[in-house]
Structure 1
Amino acid sequence: MNPKRPWRQNISLTGQTVVEHIVDDPIQLMLQISRRLPAKARGPVGKAIASLAGDRFGAAATVGQEIAGDRAGAEAALDQATQGAALTRSQGGSKAAHLADVALSMGDHERAERLLQQVPPASRRAAWYAAAARIALYRGDHDLAVEFASRHPRNVALARRMLGEQQVFAGYRPDLPAEPNYEPVTGRVLHVLTNSLPHTASGYAQRSHSILKSLVERGFEAQAVTRPGYPVQVGIPWAASEDIVEDIHYVRLLPTRLGQGLKARADQHAALLAAEVRRYRPAILHTTTHFTNAIAVASVAKAFGIPWVYEVRGQLADTWASTRGPQALTSQRYREFSARELDAAKSADAVVTLGENMKRQLVAGGVSEAKISVCPNAVGVPFINEPPTQGDARARLGLEPDVQLIGTVSSIVDYEGLDLLLRAAALLIPSHPRLRVRIAGDGVALPGLKVLAEELGIADRCDFPGRVQRAEAIWHHAALDVFVVPRKDLTVTRSVTPMKTVEASAVGRPVVASRLPALEELVVDGETGLLFEAENAGALADTLRSLLDDQPRIERMGANGREWALETRTWAANATTYENVYARLAR
């Protein structure tokens, strides 16, 4: 099948995306572009930018150091740029605004605010108000973000987008006219997704694909549609209007132009989804977090008179807050984000979630327990098949056969706590000369981990192979002696269960994980792995030592983990739950 590529829409969407990023947050645009570079290239590219920028272009030098993952270097460059600079006299505060944007990109909103406050009111122009609006949004104050963005006429596009976001988080829902003559096809289900294979290889995308495959194997007709603009918005301008992965159809909603602001995009999402429902004629709609998907789906389901399922895969308000400190938990955005998620779950005809902790939170928030089903992250082929041996995996990946290898296969973000793994390894290496650390994956925290490995003096014992293709993940699991999940103790990590631990157990690797409620659902302490005190490098080192010094225990826990995964965590078992949910809705 030759895929149809809507080049006119794709080119238009690409241009719109670039322009909006430049308007909304140009520094973040630069950082996002840099993250698409190969992992090995980011450090040299970032250092080259910093070197070329020098002292004259402090903002660019700071961004270069941040791209390279050198946070200390970035902070020093920002210090240099702000010392003695005539910020108040520079083009109406534009230099202060650019430096504030850089500080904000580093997560330092307090410093960003201090930079802006140096500019007297009479010297504040469009760039200053745009930066102030971005800081307010970062802190979760939608009302103040709209106020600042609306202060200068040159920021009209930014103000429109800030206003749309404020309205949706305050509870706006699209409204479609009823379609009384709609006739659905029995057994046909349409999943409405944020992203998907083959363009996104996250745990979210893999879970969606596994669910769809399991439903088709049970006799359902099932396909998926992704959010408007995806995948062009994430840097795939050659995207086709439909992708087929292992016989699963992923339909793309690619208009010529996306609505301006979150409110307009919610209306557009609902209208485009309604057109797809008329074409495909599903009997059930099934969507996932976060709530912006749900409000479009709820509107369409109401208009067509069909039931819908909301699958709560995470607490995205907590994910947002996890990078902003405890004050974020009392912000306007957090309160409204949490409220809209509960609204979505309450209004859905059925709710699915990943674990018992998440179910308890939903019930505590007022969602009827009777309509909640738990479908945990699970494994299918190839993890169900006999896994590769450790020797074969190491030979395939070009690794030394006789080292002690600890590590992970993961998205590399701050809340995963992988800096703790490096610190624990530094404590162990003097007494374990064969120890090596392997962290496979990619993400915003990867450059900083490489810098930390150098600072700890263990860079020669660490391997960062970068992004792993999905088909290769099992080999990276199998190469390890111990799989480590050192997640930080945050609201989001206490409730959301990851997929990677289940895969590691299925391959027969013991899992060492932070003692958090969500991870306690996945590691049978003392049987399939070990739990340690979160954010305690010494405790992690001691726990790892107890395994590394006892090879029979490693093998025993690995075997127990595989048995546990195959008995309790397969997509075939989950398919039964989905089938029951859909049957209940059909009745």
Structure 2
Amino acid sequence: MATASRLAGNLRLLAESAWQHLQDDPALLAVQISRRLPPGVRVRAGRALHAAAGGTRRGEGLAALGALMTGRSDLAGQSASRAAATSARLGYEVAILLDRTDLVDAAAPPATRARANWHEGDLQGALGILEREGEGEGTQARRLRSELELLQPGFRLDPPRASSRSLTTPEGDRDPEGELRVLHLLTNSLPHTQSGYSLRSHRILGSLRSLGVRSVALTRTGYPVMVGRAGARQYDVVDGVTYRRSLPRSLGATSQARLQQEADAAMDVVASFRPDVIHATTDYRNALVAQAVSEATGIPWVFEVRGLMEQTWIASHSTAENRRRAAESEKAQLVAAREAELARQADQVVTLSRTMADELARRGVDPEGILLMPNGITEDLLHHDSDTATARRDVGLSLPGGAFVVGSVSALVDYEGFDTLLRAVARILEDETAPEALRSTLHVVIAGDGAAAPALRALARELRIGGRVLFPGRVPASAAPDWVQALDAVVVPRRDLTVTQWVTPQKPVEALALARPLILSDLPALREVARTDGGDVCALLVPPESPPQLAEAITTLWRDPGATGRRVAEGRALAARRTWGAQVRRYEAAYRRLVPDPRGADDAR
């Protein structure tokens, strides 16, 4: 009965979320649903939709959506342009997803014009459109107004309140003297989301547990039901780590309402778990919840800045001009100021790299109060020894004997720059002066999924290298080390954007631990990841977005196994000093500085 009731409640939340998305952005909802299909199914469905729907006023919008599903942004743009010319709403909506807000003209519905302004970062302008059109009190305006209010200087959530219900506590009642307890506030988590963010969180929580620090994590309101997990429970326990869910009876209608629901859920956890510290992780919305609970309880809070939200948003725009405009927009300025303000108000700030710490200091955060916690590795990676042939067999990778394989295991988003890798490989294969032994054996494996996946598959076909490129899709976290060791070289060809200059990814240090040769874009954050104590960089560095120089680096690595071996040995020694088990002791020390006597502080509360 309880299971049936839980499922019914989750289905209600899922329906509410889908309805809100359908009202706010129907094209995006369709694309998000399509991304949950197997890649082959998604591409075939998109092609069929594009072929069947084009040619009519009503159909061009659907044709644009179909082309977008296949990764053919050029065809999607052509269909969206034709649809917009006839004032077809879906065409306008697809144009916004394509970052072609220039196609959204005065004939578009007010809701769509407002969405175009919001996409460009003109938040007040978006609200102004709705107000002038008599829709200032409608659902969309209330949601946009709520998001804008969250970004205002000094905004705080209302004091949260715990419910009268008692929570089941899978953590148990053990309470030894001096034990630290930490409530972590996360955006998403395992087992429902596998990403660099969720894996870092899980490894930190697991390593803290091994030190005797008890942790409970709470994820955002509605998650994971809102990403399609209708069978989600109120909590999951993964490798001994407890992830609690904020799944209310009904989903808040605005961002502010949902954050208030999360803050109330956090108070329930505080009442049952009695944490000594609250640890919020990127972005500012988690920080707002931590701040509210801290002010209501007196519990100190930590803000871990893993990225800069506005820079990730800027990088999502498709052209240099659009990124420039986004960087100068109201949204970018408000988000940057909001996150900096909250970081200044936290009791402790944590970030991933020196480049990030320097930027936070420029934004007014006390540099003495910033704790560096680089991406690390689980110690088992250092003992995960497997030759490439064995690893390929273990993951079911069928390649010719002697194949030389370059690639990565990564989220497939535009700023990762994997189009540069495909163009570099195509250049080698077409170059008659390149070593014939390399040309005959060179293959690419890019494991993972994401918004850029359809376009990368389309580019491989366009470059006529499809027979040399494998996209296995998302792979389980447990299998990721074998996929990395199946590669002869790991390539991280990130674009040159502000977000990639500052934010360090997880995959390079894991590749170093797995003794894989490494080729990196020459960016400050990536240099920092691979720099040894002596100042050398144990990777080949290439200018970003340069297929010719990346092709040269691949050829150099293939030709010079001796130099490669030296860099690999240096890299593994570097990775061995960055195990999570060693690094999280700094978290424990920071927590104890905030709460010198955990039990005494608890008694005072």
Q: Same fold (TM over 0.5)?
A: yes
Q: Contact 1:509–1:557 (CA<8 Å) still a contact in 2?
A: no
Distance in 2, Cα, partners of 1:205 & 1:143: 33
Given the superposition, is the C-alpha separation of residues 3 and 539 from structure 1 closer, same or farther in structure 2, using an over 3 Å criterion? farther
Residue matched to 1:65: 67
**How do residues 506-525 of structure 1 correspond to structure 2 at under 5 angstroms?**
506-524=513-531
Distance in 2, Cα, partners of 1:387 & 1:304: 48
Residue matched to 2:402: 402
- CA RMSD, 1 decimal: 1.9
Residue matched to 1:131: 112
Q: Contact 1:286–1:310 (CA<8 Å) still a contact in 2?
A: yes
The SS at the match of 2:142 is helix
| Amino acid paired to 1:162 | L
Q: Contact 1:404–1:481 (CA<8 Å) still a contact in 2?
A: yes
Select the residue among 74, 77, 92 that pairs with 2:76.
74
Given the superposition, is the C-alpha separation of residues 246 and 54 from structure 1 closer, same or farther in structure 2, using an over 3 Å criterion? same
**How do residues 34-53 of structure 1 correspond to structure 2 at under 5 angstroms?**
34-53=34-53
The SS at the match of 2:383 is coil
Distance in 2, Cα, partners of 1:222 & 1:154: 43
Matched, 1:453 2:434: no
Residue matched to 2:583: 574
TM-superposed deviation, 1:543: 1.4
The SS at the match of 1:436 is strand
Distance in 2, Cα, partners of 1:134 & 1:153: 13
| Amino acid paired to 2:157 | P
TM-superposed deviation, 1:155: 7.6
Select the residue among 537, 552, 563 that pairs with 1:542.
552
TM-superposed deviation, 1:551: 2.5
In percent, how many aligned pairs have the same letter?
Answer: 38
Q: TM-score, normalised by structure 1?
A: 0.92
Deviation string, structure 1 residues 391-443 (Cα, Å, up to 9, x no partner): 21011223324111000110000000110000111111243221001111000
The SS at the match of 2:475 is coil
Residue matched to 2:97: 105
Residue matched to 2:280: 287
Residue matched to 2:320: none
The SS at the match of 1:210 is helix
Distance in 2, Cα, partners of 1:362 & 1:160: 32
Select the residue among 146, 158, 165 that pairs with 2:127.
146
Matched, 1:277 2:275: no
| Amino acid paired to 1:174 | L
Bigger shift: 395-404 or 410-419?
395-404
TM-superposed deviation, 1:188: 0.9
Structure 1 alignment gaps of length 5 or more: 88-94, 120-126
The SS at the match of 2:529 is coil
Matched, 1:258 2:251: yes
Residue matched to 1:321: 314
Distance in 1, Cα, partners of 2:350 & 2:307: 11
Q: Contact 1:5–1:241 (CA<8 Å) still a contact in 2?
A: no
Distance in 1, Cα, partners of 2:537 & 2:138: 59
Residue matched to 1:124: none
Q: Contact 1:140–1:332 (CA<8 Å) still a contact in 2?
A: yes
The SS at the match of 2:141 is helix
**How do residues 57-456 of structure 1 correspond to structure 2 at under 5 angstroms?**
57-82=59-84, 85=86, 87=87, 95=88, 97-112=89-104, 116-117=105-106, 119=107, 128-150=109-131, 151-153=133-135, 156-171=138-153, 172-176=155-159, 186-324=179-317, 325-396=323-394, 397-400=396-399, 401-430=401-430, 431=434, 432-456=439-463
The SS at the match of 1:252 is strand
TM-superposed deviation, 1:534: 1.1
Q: Contact 1:312–1:353 (CA<8 Å) still a contact in 2?
A: yes
TM-superposed deviation, 1:153: 4.3
**How do residues 16-35 of structure 1 correspond to structure 2 at under 5 angstroms?**
16-35=16-35
TM-superposed deviation, 1:5: 7.2
| Amino acid paired to 2:264 | A
Distance in 1, Cα, partners of 2:536 & 2:30: 46
Q: Contact 2:379–2:579 (CA<8 Å) still a contact in 1?
A: no
Q: TM-score, normalised by structure 2?
A: 0.89
Residue matched to 2:13: 13
TM-superposed deviation, 1:559: 2.5
The SS at the match of 1:287 is strand
TM-superposed deviation, 1:257: 1.4
Distance in 2, Cα, partners of 1:433 & 1:387: 27
TM-superposed deviation, 1:107: 1.3
TM-superposed deviation, 1:43: 1.3
Deviation string, structure 1 residues 311-365 (Cα, Å, up to 9, x no partner): 0101111000112311111111100100111011111101111011001111111
Q: Contact 1:489–1:534 (CA<8 Å) still a contact in 2?
A: yes
Given the superposition, is the C-alpha separation of residues 203 and 489 from structure 1 closer, same or farther in structure 2, using an over 3 Å criterion? same
The SS at the match of 2:406 is strand
| Amino acid paired to 1:168 | L
TM-superposed deviation, 1:527: 5.2
TM-superposed deviation, 1:7: 2.2
